[in-house]
Structure 1
């Protein structure tokens, strides 16, 4: 009987190239549906896989990876407006995150 050897670990540079077709927001877990990092979002009611990630996941990704040029916060800090935290990030932060991912 033959035995299989475990696969060699894949370098991050190759892994990134293989996942280049996916939305970069898939690198963070989805706060809406609970999908793990690098897994697609799903509809919780029908367990259907979505092509695009949920807007909450894209917002979380932008907040995690990019500085906001509008309110001048660093990555990981939520955007704010007049001293109050916003539910979503500014549109300019999305643009900055997409430029960073490219």
Structure 2
């Protein structure tokens, strides 16, 4: 068996190895501009944060889960009476995303 030290890691294994991190880190942060799989930071001082920004969690839930409240597909923003919710999702969509990630 040949061992290739620079072989790309499969995405399923990469997420398993990062199990200590919140799954929202798999998307880029729209608030601070942190790349996927990088910690959020304070834009003015570039100090890294221990937790993710709420906008990042919203973007992750929107990208990965169906909203049970407004019945939209992943990738579609939540809406209330036909108007899209700006940079936020319904609470039930967070629960659905966490169940999907588990």
SS at structure 2 position matched to 1:60: helix
The 4+ residue runs of structure 1 with deviation greater than 2 A are: 11-14
Q: CA RMSD in A?
A: 1.3
Aligned to 1:23: 22
Question: In the aligned structure 1, how far is the partner of 2:45 from the partner of 2:6?
Answer: 34
Q: TM-score, normalised by structure 1?
A: 0.90
Aligned to 1:69: 68
Q: CA deviation at 1:44?
A: 0.9
Q: Deviations over 1:14-66 (max 9, x none)?
A: 21221111010011110000001111100011211111110000000000000
Aligned to 1:91: 91
Q: CA deviation at 1:6?
A: 5.4
Structure with larger Rg: 1
Q: TM-score, normalised by structure 2?
A: 0.90
Q: CA deviation at 1:11?
A: 2.4
Moved more, 11-20 or 66-75: 11-20
Runs of 5+ consecutive residues of structure 1 not aligned to the other structure: none
2:57 pairs with 1:58: yes
